[in-house]
Amino acid sequence: MAEVVLFHHAHGLTAGVATLAHDLVADGHHVHTPDLFEGRTFEALDDGVDHAEALGTDVVLKRGARAVEGLAEGLVYIGLSLGVLPAQQLAQTRPGARGAVLVGSCVPVEFFGGWPEGVPVHVHGMDADPWFVGEGDLDAARELVEGAADGQLFLYPGGQHLFIDPSLPAHDAAAHARFMETLRSFLVAVDSRG
């Protein structure tokens, strides 16, 4: 099965992120959940965003890179919102990535150099999410999946940003179920490639 690195969103390493990791482990995958905030969690998204901004993008990216030191190549990177930064960076720059799943965010592909050949990528977001749609991430996602040999964009109806975290008020059960079905298929396909 796949070896996955799951990077949390700006609320931190919440119970909902742990639930997602647990569900993937139950499917037989090996999942790492680095804590980019070193134990801190935030009830309000704005407080988490403020904390991430105070840390700075460079610190978030360095913590993400440090989290995979010592791990073998052949990882699948999953990023949730803020966690897309290290997930996308590592998928684009660390040798041997097997795939990437980016949720609620996407960085312009040229930010990290270019999408590596043969690495599948899925981007997920809600079609009326002001963070994903209104801040240019949807445009970056469209460009990324069009340029990747195996890229797909999944849009869900609604305006919630962190719709896949069951521990948050933004959780959308129907969209979460569709996301999990797609994620499971993605991981099976990646694993079957060897």
Which ranges of the chain does DSSP label H, i.e. alpha helix? 15-26, 45-55, 57-67, 84-93, 137-147, 173-192
The model's pTM is 0.96
The predicted model gives 39-63 an average pLDDT of 94
What token pair was written down for 81? 């919102």
Looking at every residue in the chain, the average pLDDT score rounds to: 96
Confidence of residue 191 (pLDDT cuts 50, 70, 90): confident
pLDDT at 110 over 90: yes
The predicted model gives 124-144 an average pLDDT of 96
Rounded to an integer, what distance in angstroms lies between the CA atom of residue 89 and that of residue 80?
A: 13
Instruction: Report whether CATH 3.40.50.720 matches the domain 3-192.
Output: no
Tell which residue, 159, 121, 123, has the closest CA to residue 141: 123
